[in-house]
Structure formats: structure tokens, C-alpha cells
């Protein structure tokens, strides 16, 4: 396959960026999207140009590092992470636009690399269960109904990649935040901090500059792990319940 790539190049956070055009020949359809970029980068280095910077690590769809907007879609045309997208999803002769996540709360570091530390701070605000090492009771002391355990797991699958934010026209982080709130709040272990968790995480989310949610559903469509849209309404319920219960 021969492809034309239009790639966002930006030297650093302070400089303006622009799209640059590259030709890549000799692309196999068995390559992953990132392996195709590896081919481009090897050529750029040998030509004495700077390779395109992009975040990636595990390349098996679980670490959440990779983060490209491909032809306008977060993680591209398939419902998966960029690293698990393969070139068989494209045609010979295609022109492909590659951009970084675009959101106010995710400033660009270089080229396609963005700063997602806002997500870490949302978790730090309450996305945990307070259980210092050594304090745990026997694991079978508290049975958890299978349905609840499965519900928790379904939300705990979030990989924190940020595709939900990149896909959202408002740059909202509701799906990310709700995934963690629902994972922990449904479990008996998470119940003592149920109210403060949702209130604090939502406050932090707002403070980070993520946009407001208008339930367009783009987030759940882009999510490579299939976190469901009802996650957001479930969190809204939790928030309302907590707001009534807790006098802040």
C-alpha cells in the first residue's frame, strides 16, 4: 500500500503547529497503525529530519498511552486503540489525517503527544478506596453479588487513554470520571466513601478545565473499551444523591 499522511507537527507546547504531508510507500496491511508510523519515522531519521513524536507503550491495547485522532476519529475508524488498529482498515492510495487529542485540558507537548495529567488528578481527588496495606479483612468476609462485581469490572476496564475527551465536542471527561465512580461505588468496599468520592472527583474534573456534558454520546462511541453511555447518567444519579446527603 502507498499512503499520503498529513500529520500535525508542533515543536513544543509554546510554538504553533501545522499539518505536514508525507508519503509512505511499502505499507503492509498486516502492520499496525503505529508500525506504519515507525516506517515513516525510520525514513525521516535517515533523511536527517525529526521523527514524529507520539505516545505509545504496550502496543496491545491496554496501557492507554497511544492517542491519535485519525481522520477526525479518536483512535481511528475501528472501535479499538490506535495500537490495535491495523492497516487493513485502509485502502491503497488513501490520504490519512493524523492529529493529537484535541482538548483544552490536554495541552500538546510535542507533535502528537499531549499532557493527560489532569486524569491523574481526577483520580487523586477520590478515585480510590482507602484501604492501607495490612488493614484488609479476609477476602471472603464480604461476598459481592456477581452482577455487582461484573458491573464494577465493566467500568474498571477504562484504560485512561482520553479518547472520550478527544471525541467530545465539549472536551468533557464525564465518561472517564463516571467509569471510576461506578466501579468503586457499586462495591460494598467502596460504599463508605461513596458520596465524597463522586463529589470530589466531579469538582476536580471541573477544575481541570474539562467541558460540560451535553450527552452527545460521542465519548461512548469512541471508547476502545466500550464503557457504556449509561455510566454518565449513573454518575449523575450518584452525584445528586450525594449532594443531597452531604452538606458541603
Partner 1 sequence: MPSYSEYTEYAEYTVGEPIKDERAPAGPVNERWDTRRFEAKLVNPANRRKHTIIVVGTGLAGGAAGATLAEQGYHVVQFCYQDSPRRAHSIAAQGGINAAKNYRNDGDSIHRLFYDTVKGGDFRARESNVHRLAQISVEIIDQCVAQGVPFAREYGGLLDTRSFGGVQVSRTFYARGQTGQQLLLGAYQALSRQIAAGNVEMHARTEMLDLIMVDGRARGIVARDLVTGEISTYFADAVVLASGGYGNVFYLSTNAMNSNATAIWRAHRRGAYFANPCFTQIHPTCIPRSGDHQSKLTLMSESLRNDGRIWVPKAKGDTRPAAEIPEEERDYYLERIYPSFGNLVPRDIASRAAKNVCDEGRGVGPGGQGVYLDFADAIARMGRKAVEEKYGNLFDMYERITAENPYEVPMRIYPAIHYTMGGLWVDYDLQTTVPGLFAIGEANFSDHGANRLGASALMQGLADGYFVLPSTINDYLARNPHKDEVDASHPAAVEAVRETEDRLTRLLAVDGDRTPDSFHREIGELVWEFCGMARTDEGLRKALDRLPQIREEFWRRIKVPGTGEEFNQSLEKANRIVDYLELAELMCLDALHRAESCGGHFREESQTPDGEAAREDEEFSYAAAWEFTDTGAAPVLHKEQLTFEYVHPTQRSYA
Q: 3-state SS of the chain? A: CCEEEEEEECCCCCCCCEEEEEEECCCCCCCEHHHHHHHHHHHHHHCCCCCCCCCCCCCCCCCCCCCEEECCEECCCCCCCHHHCEHHHCCCCCEEEEEECCCCCCCEEECCEECCHHHHHHHHCCCCCCCCCCCCCCHHHCCCCHHHHHHHHHHHCCCCCCHHHHHCCCCCCHHHHHHHHHHHHCCHHHHHHHHHHHHHHHHHHHHCCCCCCCCCCHHHHHCCCCCCCHHHHHHHHHHHHHHHHCCC
What does the block give as the cell for 103?
482538548
Closest separation between CB of residue 181 and partner 1, Å? 12
Site string for partner 1, 201-220 (x = CB under 8 A): --------------------
Q: Which of 4, 19, 23, 60 binds partner 1 (CB under 8 A)?
A: 60
| Smallest separation, CB 239 to partner 1 (Å) | 19
Q: Which residue of 187, 199, 222, 234 would you call a contact of partner 1, by CB under 8 A?
A: 187
* Under rule CB under 8 A, residue 16 binds partner 1: no
Residues 95 to 114: which contact partner 1 by CB under 8 A?
109-110, 113
**Looking at 1, 22, 24, 63, which residue binds partner 1 (CB under 8 A)?**
63
Contacts of 213 (CB under 8 A, 6+ apart): 168, 170, 172, 174, 232
Cα gap 152→130, rounded to integer Å: 17
- Please list every residue from 111 through 140 that binds partner 1, using CB under 8 A: 113, 115-117, 119-120, 123-125, 127-140
Stretch that binds partner 1, among 1-9, 55-63, 94-102, 236-244 (CB under 8 A): 55-63
Of 163-182, binders to partner 1 (CB under 8 A) are: none
Site for partner 1 contains 42 (CB under 8 A)? yes
Judged by beta carbon, residue 15 or residue 95, the one nearer partner 1 is 15
For residue 229, the minimal CB distance to partner 1 (Å) is: 20
The grid coordinates listed for 205 are 474534573
- Of 78-86, 163-171, 209-217, 235-243, which part binds partner 1 (CB under 8 A)? 78-86
Q: Which three cell numbers stand for residue 84?
A: 490495535
In the set 3, 68, 70, 160, which binds partner 1 (CB under 8 A)? 160
Which residue lies nearer to partner 1 by CB, 107 or 216?
A: 107
92 binds partner 1 (CB under 8 A): no
Structure-block grid coordinates of residue 158? 477504562
Residue 14 touching partner 1 (CB under 8 A): no
- Applying CB under 8 A, among 18, 21, 25, 48 the residue interacting with partner 1 is 48
Amino acid at each position: 500500500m502507498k499512503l499520503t499522511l498529513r500529520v500535525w507537527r508542533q515543536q513544543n507546547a509554546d510554538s504553533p503547529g501545522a499539518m505536514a504531508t508525507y508519503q509512505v510507500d511499502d505499507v503492509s496491511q498486516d502492520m499496525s497503525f503505529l508500525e506504519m508510523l515507525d516506517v515513516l519515522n525510520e525514513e525521516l531519521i535517515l533523511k536527517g529530519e525529526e521523527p514524529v513524536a507520539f505516545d505509545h507503550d504496550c502496543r496491545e491495547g491496554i496501557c492507554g498511552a497511544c492517542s491519535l485522532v485519525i481522520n477526525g476519529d479518536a483512535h481511528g475508524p475501528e472501535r479499538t486503540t490506535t495500537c490495535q488498529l491495523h492497516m487493513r482498515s485502509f485502502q491503497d492510495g488513501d490520504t490519512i489525517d493524523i492529529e493529537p487529542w484535541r482538548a483544552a485540558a490536554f495541552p500538546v507537548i510535542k507533535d502528537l503527544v499531549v499532557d493527560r495529567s489532569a486524569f491523574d488528578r481526577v483520580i487523586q481527588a477520590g478515585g480510590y478506596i482507602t484501604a492501607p496495606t495490612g488493614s484488609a479483612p479476609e477476602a471472603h468476609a464480604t461476598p459481592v453479588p456477581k452482577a455487582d462485581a461484573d458491573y464494577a469490572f465493566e467500568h474498571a476496564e477504562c484504560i485512561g487513554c482520553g479518547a472520550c475527551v478527544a471525541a467530545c465536542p465539549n472536551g468533557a471527561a464525564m465518561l472517564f470520571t463516571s467509569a471510576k465512580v461506578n466501579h468503586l461505588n457499586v462495591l460494598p468496599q467502596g460504599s463508605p466513601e461513596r458520596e465524597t468520592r463522586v463529589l470530589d472527583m466531579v469538582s476536580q474534573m471541573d477544575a481541570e478545565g474539562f467541558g460540560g456534558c451535553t450527552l452527545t454520546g460521542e465519548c461512548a462511541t469512541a471508547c476502545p473499551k466500550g464503557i457504556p453511555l449509561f455510566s454518565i447518567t449513573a454518575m449523575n444519579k450518584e452525584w445528586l444523591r450525594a449532594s443531597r446527603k452531604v452538606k458541603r
